[in-house]
Structure 1
């Protein structure tokens, strides 16, 4: 009984102290400069080459804890027809595509694409791996004609490119007028304290992963001109699920790839 009473006293005290220190730490984020992208494209490719083989093992526990597998399933299972996935990383969405989809998987990293291909080969026993084609493509400058795909998918890619607005424009350009754009992204929290904490650690996170995890996703999507049809946020506003339609009349005239 004594220990129970002590615990009942200590837990609120610990929570209060912890909250205070988190608040104090978050104040540092009010004056933190934006993330400095110190790596060149060449250096970033070397970083992703190093990460490719260990990426899945590094993030699997976090994804399970945050139920990101369910979010991937909810989103990617909506893909139909001819599908393009951009900045696809190691292919963590593969098992969620419907077998009738025709999926072109792309990433700018050769090592990531190779890792994804190995993963797809394991699905071939289920006749699902046959739906995938693989290409090394820069999400900011896709080598496809306008209106090429029924569905364009991007999951946790806007954080990893130098110019996320270009990726969104390209996704919109290659998507058919009646097609669908599917996004699952992490970004700046809608809560000030957490948003400031993200800012405190953003540079360290970028240097390790090549990922700017606190971009303003809502603003980026709005400025891309896409028409949002459905949107859900999770994890205190840091995770965004978005279903959008291309709205090319509100976008700059598309440029054909060279």
Structure 2
């Protein structure tokens, strides 16, 4: 029994003793190594703004979806038969001009985005830049053309500006917009001290005040007004009455929306015309070209420029007095333009006296 314990004890103690005898240290007791803090391998949250490519894809996708939805709605409207073929006739269109009294405060926000996308603002600017002399803007509305007139102190072509509309609420918004744009214009030197601007409320179907100079107007400008009156021919005729037709350079400038040259587009306009008139106060399915041409023939005017945009639904006109009209107003005392050119080519009045 003792022998077995000695043997077993010897086997237990022998390895360390042999290791000591060999000069080798016994294995050290393993020490616990402190663990290093673990790093967070989860990606950080992306709180920054979307990158440029992602933003471009987002905008493009949104625009594509919107365009597709609009195209689908347009197709569905175009394939519907016209439920009231006579709705384009003036006799079938009631007077909705009073609608603007209720929409004056929201009008700019209602039409602003659509006009921006359609490029209407650029057309407004081009027409407003053509205005010269004593200017009358008929159906001025909320003053959506105010920022486009050439009112520069040195090079401004306008002498006076008179703005007229049937709706007092629209005229008030126009006045406030002028104050915002040009309130301190004269004091700051941006506007001429002699520039006179008037805001007038009244119907453009009857007598309107003369220009501040006491004369008729050199330019009459109107945007989206023929569609809003119950008597478009009378409105055009009354504008001619207030234009100085004794001058060949006098002009009437018009920006309107009306019927297209595409039959399917006209079906869309006719089907939506009544609802649109109730909401926005204008009939956008009128044959504006025919109305302007008829008025010009009756009043001694000439259409010198006609442009159409947006599938023919946006119309731009420039009218001037016929030479016969200018001669008649002046009592036949002036030469027509072609006669003036011919006289200048022939050497003028001196050539008739023998001078060469």
TM-score computed with the length of structure 1 as normaliser: 0.81
Contact 1:153 1:183 in 2 (8 A): yes
Matched, 1:245 2:297: no
The 8 Å contact of residues 187 and 215 in structure 1, kept in 2 or not, is answered as yes
Question: What's the CA shift string for 1:159-183, capped at 9, x where partnerless?
Answer: 1111011110011111111210000
SS at match of 2:259: coil
**Corresponding position: 1:70 with 2:122:** yes
* CA apart distance, 1:38: 4.4
Whether the 8 Å contact between 1:173 and 1:248 is mirrored in structure 2 is: no
Normalized per residue, the structure richer in strand is 1
Q: 1:150 to 1:215 in 2, by over 3 A?
A: same
Q: CA deviation at 1:247?
A: 4.4
**Counterpart position of 2:59:** none
Q: State the alpha-carbon separation in 2 of the partners of residues 247 and 63 from structure 1.
A: 33
Is 1:109 aligned to 2:167, yes or no? yes
- Residue 79 (str. 1) matches residue 102 (str. 2): no
Structure possessing the higher radius of gyration over alpha carbons: 2
Residues 1:211 and 2:282 aligned together:
yes
Equivalent residue number for residue 155 of structure 1: 223
Distance 1:168 1:68 in 2: 22
Q: Which gives a bigger RCO, structure 1 or 2 (Cα 8 Å, sep 6+)?
A: 1
Structure 1 gaps of 5+ residues are 1-10, 251-258
**Aligned-pair CA distance for 1:137:** 2.1
Q: Give the structure 2 partner of residue 5 of structure 1.
A: none
Whether contact under 8 Å (1:187, 1:213) holds in the other structure is yes
Please state whether the residue corresponding to 1:28 is helix, strand or coil.
coil
8 Å contact from structure 1 (residues 90, 116) kept in 2:
yes
Report the counterpart of residue 236 of structure 1 in structure 2.
311
Q: 1:221 to 1:249 in 2, by over 3 A?
A: farther
Q: 1:70 aligns to what SS in structure 2?
A: helix
Distance change (3 Å), C-alpha of 1:249 and 1:167: farther
Residue 208 of structure 2 is matched in structure 1 by 143
Counterpart for residue 168 of structure 1: 236
Q: Secondary structure at the match of 2:286?
A: coil
SS at the partner of 1:74?
Answer: helix
**1:141 positional shift:** 1.3
Report the Cα offset of residue 140 of structure 1. Answer: 1.3
Q: How much has 1:84 moved relative to structure 2? A: 0.4
- 8 Å CA contact 1:232, 1:240 repeated in 2: yes
Q: 1:24 maps to which residue? A: 79
Secondary structure of residue in 2 paired with 1:140: coil
Paired with 1:63 and 1:16, the residues of 2 have a C-alpha distance of 18
Q: How far off its partner does 1:134 sit?
A: 0.6
The residue aligned with 2:111 is 59
Cα distance in 2 for partners of 1:17, 1:135 equals 44
Answer yes or no: is the 8 Å Cα contact 1:159–1:186 preserved in 2: yes
Deviation at 1:132, TM superposition (A): 2.2
> Paired residue for 2:267?
196
Query: Residue 111 of structure 2: SS of its match in structure 1?
Result: helix
